[in-house]
Amino acid sequence: MYSPDELIEAGAKAIQWCAAHLREDGTFPNAETRILAYYKAPVSFALTGQVLAAGRVSHHIRKTFFEAGDFHKVADDPSAGSFLNYQNCWITRGQHLVGNFDLAYAGADYLEGLIKANGGGLPVGKPGHPVSGQLDMSTTCNGVIAFLTLGRPEAARRAGDFVIDILREQPQADQRIFVRRDADGNLIQDPADDLRALSVIDFSQPKQIYWFLGLALVALGRLHLATGEAKWKETADLVCDYIDRCQPDIFQWITVAKFVWGAAENYSVTGDVRYKNLAERMARWLIGSQDPSGAWLRPGYQSLEVQPLDVTIDTTIERGYYLQEAAKALSVAE
């Protein structure tokens, strides 16, 4: 197993690679209005002591993307995808860590208003977006993390209860799990073909979007730490049961980076070696797939030179961040 120091080193190399591409005005070249390049940057830079980069990128976010609690002022940004509120959670948390409390509180108010209106769940988008009414488990997990960071435990609990309900109320749990509800609160069991990968984890198929489960582990682990309540650990154990039902590629596929963070968080709180073993296995693959430059290449691209910079930044900065968080959690556990 890599030591916490080795995890820190690999993570720092990744984030330094990203910081080296940031210009003094807080922008990345050829990605000035693409939110994909920016939404994870404040958290990642702040955690690793890249204070100038954190401040510069946050200034760019303020003047370019922020509007009334939401961070998607740029119209028709193709990089935003469908996870708008997932991105809002990252940015809101980052602005709190950087010290831009006006943006952080506005973002948290915006998100908390959404969970109050939707039974604890966060919709993926904002009004007018094609799937804005769908309540997404992973987006809600990210809300839990943001609410805990900003000292809003009741909002975090409410969002966490939504996550528990969606993980436990699975009618086909031996075959697949559904991770979205419609506006009426019903599991979406027959999604449109273009949304199926974002709505279902099919245990019989490889190359699923596994990170939904990894982020659930983070949210549940942090709620357990914050409250001491057993229900969060019990549900995290259920997530591990779902992981065991997935295809073997769950230990070596591009969408599993969050498991390093989530498993380490739960090990630090519970001491359960099941989580330590999961974190170690995922970390071996994650670091082993890192380019010598510090960046990560996604499937479908032949080289970092042809991979769009916003894609490389998003992929690299988050993995660097997860390794830092995992190192912190594992060092506490030891």
What is the pLDDT, as a whole number, of residue 140?
Answer: 98
What is the pLDDT, as a whole number, of residue 128?
Answer: 66
Averaged pLDDT of the chain: 95
Longest Cα–Cα distance in the chain = 52
Q: What is the 3-state secondary structure (H, E, C) of 193-246?
A: HHHHHHHEEECCCCCCCCHHHHHHHHHHHHHHHHHCCHHHHHHHHHHHHHHHHC
Give the Cα separation of 223 and 154 in Å (integer). Answer: 11
3 Cβ partners below 8 Å, 6+ apart?
Answer: none
Is the sign of the CA dihedral 137, 91, 132, 196 positive or negative?
negative
Task: Quickly list DSSP for 46-105.
Answer: HHTT-HHHHHHHHHHHHHHT-BTTBS--STT-GGGTT-HHHHHHHHHHHHHHHT-HHHHH
Fold for domain 4-333? Glycosyltransferase (1.50.10)
Residues 106-159: pLDDT tens digits?
Answer: 999 999 999 999 999 999 987 666 667 899 999 999 999 999 999 999 999 999
Crossing angle for the helix pair 309-333 and 258-270, to the nearest 10 degrees: 20
Segment 242-270 shows an average pLDDT of: 95
Give the Cα separation of 40 and 60 in Å (integer). Answer: 13
| CB environment 254-263: b (16+ within 10 A), e (fewer) | bbbbbbbbbb
Length of the chain: 334
Token readout for 324 is 């830092």
Segment 72-84 shows an average pLDDT of: 89
pTM of the full structure: 0.96
